[in-house]
Structure 1
Amino acid sequence: MTYYRKATNNKLTAMMQVRNESHRYIRQVLDDLSEYVDEIVIVDDGSTDDTAAICASYPKVVSLGRSDASLYGINEMALKLRLFRRTLATRPDWILAIDADECFEPRFKDDVRGMINQTLLDWYAFRFYHFWHSTTHYRVDKLWAPVQYGPRLFRYLPQATYRWNHQALHGGSLPMNLVSEFPGTSSSLRIKHFGYAGSVEETLRKYQFYVSRDPNSDFCPRSHYDSMLDEHPILEPWVD
């Protein structure tokens, strides 16, 4: 099938799921997104704090869905589909899938318009840098090393068929057939992930959550989960 691809004036829409983010990084993430995206779509996955109110206070948040019960770690595909469909209702040209604890490095905002206003590529993948108990140093050992690329930015083609991973956990942020069926590339731009930048106690809670939701390691090797508890991980300082 031949798809029509706009070369100019493409609208960039960020989509993000959130849950109990008010004391974490949500303001930093929304401040950053507001500088370069056109619209933001959010699904609040059962927050019990004022996360939804914070999100609603940002003018570029044009769609905010809420649920009473969390689906994360239970039926992740249903959660991703709900977010995706809400995003499609805003008629995006390009979609940036980003988490509430992630920010791109500063030069992304200068380059992103050139990336989306072209007709050859339909997606971009990025390296993730996992900041570890710090917002200045990231981890470089084991599977935490920033060598894996993950697609997070893609062109929405209304006539295309998109398929999602059925996993309950770690199913990916974008359609599973994106990389195999559409042209794209890996970018040198970097994503800063602050999910493990907090205290040791916070990391322990994340570890307990994952192993309770994935006791047989169906979705991730147990050795990777266990490495969250390493007492002496190898870190390097971040340089913009």
Structure 2
Amino acid sequence: MQRVLIASPVRQKPSILREFLWSLSHLETTGLEVEYAFIDDNERESTLLREFAAGRKNVHIFPGNGAGHAYHCDEHTHHWREDLIWKVAGYKNRFIQLARDSGFDFLFLVDSDLVLHPKTLVHLVGLGKDIVSEVYWTRWEPDMIPLPQVWVADNYRLYHMQRGEMLDEKEIARRVKEFLETLQKPGVYKVGGLGACTLISRRAILLGVSFSEIYNLGLIGEDRHFCIRAAALGLELYADTYYPPYHIYRESELAGLKAYKEKYFPSGRETPTGAAMLQTADEETGTRGSKITLAMLVRNEAGRYLERVLKHAAQYIDCAVILDDASEDNTVEVCKKTLQNIPLTLVSNKQPSFHNEIILRKQLWELAVGTRPDWILILDADEIFEERAVKELRSLAVNPEIEVYYFRLYDMWDEDHYREDEYWKAHHYYRPFMVRYVPGFPYQWRETPQHCGRFPHNITELRGATSSLRVKHLGWMKPADRLAKYYRYKKLDPLGQYGLIDQYLSILDPKPNLVAWKDEQ
């Protein structure tokens, strides 16, 4: 289980701070061990922070130096002075030190005027990035258009350009528009600057990220110094746009918070559980949608079965989410070309994590959830439904009473035969492949590096049904594939801790028992 320190320096108006703390109490933390750290920089000790800590053993409140450091914000803007900027920088560095010394896997630095979407934390952790901020939009001055708290480069440049490139005002305006429109689409994007809602990995902390002033840099603001130092350390900065927070930049903006809560929180109530939760979800969503979102994890799949699988799936899916685990071939190009007529979210990891499957499965799940799906259908790149699924999956998806569909998986040993013996009988059992996303359900994962399951393990609590549709597993059909999988399991699970040693050994059986595949009508 990964440990996360959620931290914030707090000097805030009570009406705004109350909403910030409310959103923290509603954050989903499935699979995470969370602690909170606040530096109370108010003139007087914050009653709201003490109330938040009451009854919680995982909250730490440290005194700040609020006396004599006036900070003024009004309905026009926030007024920052140099001494205040570097005081806050010192506070953030204290949080970095605490996270480093206490062995946290991540530090989540959040400004106290944000109301976070409940899925923010588990989503950002699942991305596997060293430094990533969730994007929000603010009118920095009342007559300005809403702008993001992330930027491309320099002080706050919102457009891309090559070093030495000369641009006129028209081209600059076009590129700014392009960057802002990109950030309005759900995705994960590399940026040059960020702040205010930032997840920082332990790797970045150990490399030496800091908010301290770089003495020969004239840019204003501790976040800019942090970002430049991070880049100099070889770290990349990313902006995520799936779950934008609500920014209460002015007290007058509290009025718009009601609509945000109604949209992302179930009527502002505490999250229900069990049967009551399922009933609430049904009541609030009304008629349940039937859109099918394909979610797939890929790595070096070009030249194998990927194109065949995607072409077939494209006949019955509405959109696709693909997580590429640092492929070294043209897997990404195959995905884009084959699904060119299907709305596609494709994210590529810079470093592979195939040795730790749970990280990838959770990352894929969060990416899929971020597209606001009705159904999530998870197939591996070598799994394909039988032909009749093109028509029949649609009929399954329109059933409002079912939330999980279970299918049988057949391990194909060639195009016309599947294997069946003591260790190869997966087709005797039904397993989940298609799950309706239920907002508010407390999804939980089996935290093992291998054989963790493609879905959260507690989906069995949802209303399920079996289907006669069958899935072909093509990944065993070629001798070279079988040999590669044998050595993969031998390397990743040599003691059979997550699977069966005897089954691993049986992969290379020269005369397995094969059964002829028969198409069903």
Report the TM-score when normalising by structure 1: 0.94
* Number of the residue aligned with 1:126: 407
Higher relative contact order (CA 8 A, sep 6+): 1
1:63 and 2:342 aligned:
no
Q: Is the counterpart of residue 211 in structure 1 residue 493 in structure 2?
A: no
Query: Equivalents in 2 of 1:209, 1:124: separation in Å?
Result: 30
Q: Distance in 1 between matches of 2:464 and 2:512?
A: 33
1:201, CA displacement in angstroms?
A: 2.9
Alignment counterpart, residue 418 of structure 2, candidates 125, 138, 153: 138
Q: Report the AA paired with residue 142 of structure 1.
A: E
Task: Give the aligned CA root-mean-square deviation in angstroms.
Answer: 1.4
Q: Distance in 2 between matches of 1:6 and 1:143?
A: 45
The within-5 A match list for 1:57-136 is 57=337, 58-59=339-340, 60-72=342-354, 74-132=355-413, 134-136=414-416
- Corresponding residue number in structure 1 for 2:500: 221
Name the amino acid aligned to 2:494: P
Shift of 1:143: 2.5
Does 2:471 match 1:187?
no
Higher helix share: 2
Structure 1 moving runs of 4+ over 2 Å: 5-9
Distance 1:10 1:209 in 2: 37
Match of 2:98 in 1: none
Task: Tell me the residue number matched to 1:156.
Answer: 437
Deviates more, 1:35-44 or 1:107-116: 107-116
Amino acid at match of 1:44: D
1:41 aligns with 2:317: no
Distance 1:237 1:130 in 2: 12
Instruction: Give the CA deviation at 1:75.
Output: 1.8
Contact 1:20 1:51 in 2 (8 A): yes
C-alpha distance in 2 between matches for 1:202 and 1:100: 13
CA contact (8 A) 1:20 1:48 kept: yes
Inter-partner Cα distance in structure 2 for 1:55 and 1:205: 23
Q: Check 1:6–1:55 CA distance in 2 against 1; reply closer, same or farther (3 A cut).
A: farther
AA aligned opposite 1:139: R
Cα displacement string for residues 12-68 of structure 1 (whole angstroms, at most 9, x for unaligned residues)? 100000011111001101101110000010000121000011111222251001013
5+ residue gaps, structure 1: none
| Matched letter for residue 390 of structure 2 | K
SS of 1:36's equivalent in the other structure is coil
AA of the residue aligned to 1:185: A
Match of 1:50 in 2: 330
1:142 aligns to what SS in structure 2? coil
- Asked if 2 retains the 8 angstrom alpha-carbon contact of 1:211 and 1:225, the reply is yes
The alignment's TM-score, normalised by the length of structure 2, stands at 0.44
Secondary structure class of the residue paired with 1:144: coil
What is the distance in 1 between the residues matched to 2:405 and 2:389? Answer: 12
Percent of aligned positions with the same letter in both sequences?
36
Could you tell me which residue of structure 1 aligns to residue 295 of structure 2?
Answer: 15
Partner of 1:26: 306
Deviation at 1:90, TM superposition (A): 1.2
State the Cα distance separating 1:7 from its structure 2 match: 4.8
1:125-144 alpha-carbon deviations (Å, 9 max, x no partner): 11111011x12211111231
Pairs aligned (count): 236
The one-letter amino acid of 2:347's match is G
CA contact (8 A) 1:94 1:153 kept: yes
> 1:225 and 1:27, CA in 2 relative to 1: closer, same or farther beyond 3 A?
same
Residue pair 1:20, 1:49 contacting (<8 A) in 2 also: yes
Question: 2:407–2:471: 8 Å Cα contact kept in structure 1?
Answer: yes
Please name the residue that 1:174 is paired with. 455
Please give the per-residue CA displacement for 1:187-230, whole angstroms capped at 9, x wherever unaligned.
111000001011x2321121011011001111101011111011
Q: Aligned to 2:473, what secondary structure does the other structure show? A: strand
Deviates more, 1:92-101 or 1:146-155: 146-155
Q: CA deviation at 1:239?
A: 1.6
Paired AA for residue 335 in structure 2: C
Q: How much does 1:69 deviate?
A: 2.3
Which has a greater percent of strand? 1
Given that 2:288 and 2:400 are in contact with CA atoms closer than 8 Å, whether structure 1 keeps it comes out as no
Cα distance change, pair 152–6 in 1 and its aligned pair in 2 (3 A) = farther
Provide closer, same or farther for how the CA distance between residues 119 and 6 of structure 1 changes in structure 2, counting only shifts above 3 A. Answer: farther
Gaps of 5+ in 2: 1-276
In the TM superposition, what is the alpha-carbon distance from 1:147 to its structure 2 partner? 0.5
